[in-house]
Chains A and B, each alone.
Chain A
Amino acid sequence: MKRYLYYPGCSAEATGKAYDISTRALMEKLGTALIELDDWNCCGATSYFSVRELDSFAIAARNLSIAQQMGDDELCVICNACYTTLAKANRYMAESPEVFDAVQGALGAVGRTYDGNVKVRHIMDILVNDIGLEEFGSRVERRLTGLRVAPYYGCQFSRPMGEFDDVQMPTTMDRLFQATGADVITDFDAKTDCCGGMMMLTRSDAALRLCHELLTCARQGGADVIVAACPLCEMNLEGYQPLVNKTFGTDFDIPVMYFTQLAGLALGVDPKKLAIDKQVVSCDRVVAAIPA
């Protein structure tokens, strides 16, 4: 059985719980084991860049050093922000000897070491490139025929790393859902637009406007459901959808799911195991629309 070391990220313990639960259920169904990284810490997110650039790389690298200690050369990540932060630490360590040495020194101060060779992998990368679309498609038990899916990648899915998908026009999520028979909105214009991220708390006016534009675009495309690959994207588009309506006088009622939830449904995983009841905007109609 193929196994991956797995880094859930902080949101997976709270607002993004359903992403973690559905990822584990989906991978179990695919016969792939996820072993949680021991004693992982926050990736540092974008906040650490405000203190010291090197702090953000070193804090991220502590996780990668634990992965190396556990004997792995890959780490599976589900959150776009964690993915970018961890992968960026690797890239800057490779590009700059000064960064490499500073991170080594900092890790040495806590009795750790890291050589820069643990590859950070987004769960989408693993699904599309390791498991493969052919294998994935062959395991679909409930085809999503007729379901209009808006694939929402968000910012840090492939920007700036671009390691497994195009930086400006990613297509992996489109192709994954095409393999389920879904009617994917391939020209979903807002698919890589920003949801506002943490700005929902610090400048909610700006973030709500971004979400409003995204939801408008999804509605124009006739979306039955938006699928997201990041806890911040999901939270902003779904959790704050009622507030978008209140602010802009709109009546959006668009289900938003983690892509792992919808992919799990297609593979015949029990909706209860995919934490679909944790969504703020009910997804019952999405579940009901899928032919048994």
Chain B
Amino acid sequence: MTELATTPQAKALHEQFCRDVMSMPGGEKIKICQQCGTCTGSCPTSYLMDFGPREIIAAFRAGMIDRVVKSNTIWLCTSCYYCTVRCPAGIKITDLMYELKRMAIKYDLVPKESKNPAMTKIFIDSVHKHGRNHEVELMARFMMTKDWGMPFRFVGTGLKLFTAGRLPMTPTNIRGRDELDKISAYLETLEEAKKQ
């Protein structure tokens, strides 16, 4: 029983998960999970996960969501939505994964080996700077921060893509790119206001 949500952080995570999931459209359906395992059976990457999708809901009910937040599970979700469309209870499991990703980033609980949050950050930076994702910049920045070995593995593909004109060096800057920062700032203020 020592692993129940007893530490302050575990409690905070449990409370936030409850609050955020219940505020999602259809979020309350998590209560009727019957642990059938269709989600885990449908998941293309569950074989690599510390906890499969079914276990996430079991852990939440057992007050152990903090263990899931720290696990590799959420960073292995490819957003393929198989679990979501097959769940007989109608639980939006992919959305639960997104919620867990947000919590892991917020509480700085990302496993060291996961490169996914770094990729996300670079992606969003690039979109806010240009208004669109510049794939070449994304790949270059990702390589520099997280994966020096990547150019060596992908050199053959990279050269072919470059020759075919599929790796343009210059980004497209949209006229309204400053709007994205303003949209994010507005929503951040809104979220803060709700907490108070």
**Cα–Cα, bound, A47→B121 (Å):** 8
| Contact call B78/A279, Cβ cutoff below 8 A | no
Give the residues in chain A near B186, CB-CB below 8 Å.
Answer: 105-106, 109
B23 at the interface (CB under 8 A from A): yes
**Cα–Cα, bound, A41→B181 (Å):** 12
User: CB-nearest residue of chain B relative to A160?
Assistant: B81
B4 at the interface (CB under 8 A from A): no
Give the residues in chain B near A59, CB-CB below 8 Å.
Answer: 127, 180, 183
Instruction: Convert A24-50 into 0s and 1s, putting 1 for each residue whose CB lies closer than 8 angstroms to a CB of B.
Output: 000000000000000111101111111
**Cα–Cα, bound, A201→B123 (Å):** 12
Instruction: Convert B66-92 into 0s and 1s, putting 1 for each residue whose CB lies closer than 8 angstroms to a CB of A.
Output: 000000000110111110111000001
Give the residues in chain B near A40, CB-CB below 8 Å.
Answer: 132, 174
| Contact call A243/B25, Cβ cutoff below 8 A | no
Q: Contacts A55-B183, A62-B179 given: A196-B190 contact, CB under 8 Å?
A: no
User: How many cross-chain pairs have Cβ atoms below 8 Å apart between A and B?
Assistant: 194
User: CB-nearest residue of chain B relative to A197?
Assistant: B78
**Cα–Cα, bound, A167→B154 (Å):** 33
Q: Could you list some 30 contacts between A and B, CB below 8 A?
A: A11-B135, A13-B135, A15-B167, A18-B166, A39-B175, A39-B176, A41-B131, A45-B123, A46-B79, A51-B102, A51-B120, A52-B188, A53-B99, A54-B187, A62-B180, A84-B81, A107-B183, A156-B81, A159-B84, A160-B84, A194-B78, A199-B45, A201-B142, A202-B115, A206-B45, A206-B76, A210-B44, A210-B45, A239-B160, A279-B164
Give the residues in chain B near A206, CB-CB below 8 Å.
Answer: 45, 48, 76
Q: Taking beta carbons and an 8 Å cutoff, which residues of A are in contact with B?
A: 10-11, 13-18, 39-42, 44-55, 58-59, 62, 84, 92, 95-96, 98-99, 102, 105-107, 109-110, 112, 155-156, 159-160, 162, 167-168, 193-194, 196-199, 201-204, 206, 210, 239-240, 242-243, 277-280
Q: Contacts A47-B120, A204-B153 given: A102-B190 contact, CB under 8 Å?
A: yes
Give 14 new A-B contacts, CB below 8 A, not counting A44-B127, A62-B179, A202-B75.
A14-B136, A47-B119, A47-B123, A51-B105, A52-B102, A53-B99, A59-B183, A106-B186, A193-B44, A194-B82, A196-B78, A201-B150, A240-B157, A242-B156
**Cα–Cα, bound, A96→B160 (Å):** 46
Within 8 A of A (CB), among B122-158: 123-124, 127, 131-136, 139, 142, 147, 150, 153-154, 156-157
| Contact call A49/B101, Cβ cutoff below 8 A | yes
Q: Contacts A51-B124, A58-B187, A162-B85 given: A243-B44 contact, CB under 8 Å?
A: no
| Contact call A41/B44, Cβ cutoff below 8 A | no
| Contact call A167/B132, Cβ cutoff below 8 A | no
| Contact call B115/A155, Cβ cutoff below 8 A | no
| Contact call A243/B164, Cβ cutoff below 8 A | no
B94 at the interface (CB under 8 A from A): yes
| Contact call A159/B81, Cβ cutoff below 8 A | yes
**Cα–Cα, bound, A55→B76 (Å):** 22
**Cα–Cα, bound, A46→B85 (Å):** 17
Give the residues in chain A near B174, CB-CB below 8 Å.
Answer: 39-41
B8 at the interface (CB under 8 A from A): no
Give the residues in chain A near B81, CB-CB below 8 Å.
Answer: 84, 155-156, 159-160
| Contact call A50/B102, Cβ cutoff below 8 A | yes
| Contact call B164/A277, Cβ cutoff below 8 A | yes
**Cα–Cα, bound, A198→B80 (Å):** 11
Give the residues in chain A near B80, CB-CB below 8 Å.
Answer: 155-156, 159, 194, 197
Give the residues in chain A near B167, CB-CB below 8 Å.
Answer: 14-15
Min CB–CB distance A109 → chain B (angstroms): 4
Min CB–CB distance B175 → chain A (angstroms): 5
B117 at the interface (CB under 8 A from A): yes
Q: Contacts A53-B98, A102-B190, A197-B78 given: A110-B179 contact, CB under 8 Å?
A: yes
| Contact call B133/A198, Cβ cutoff below 8 A | no
**Cα–Cα, bound, A197→B94 (Å):** 15
| Contact call B157/A242, Cβ cutoff below 8 A | yes
Instruction: Identify which of B161, B165, B172, B190 contacts A239 (C-beta below 8 A).
Output: B161
Min CB–CB distance A12 → chain B (angstroms): 10
**Cα–Cα, bound, A150→B187 (Å):** 44
Give the residues in chain A near B191, CB-CB below 8 Å.
Answer: 52, 54
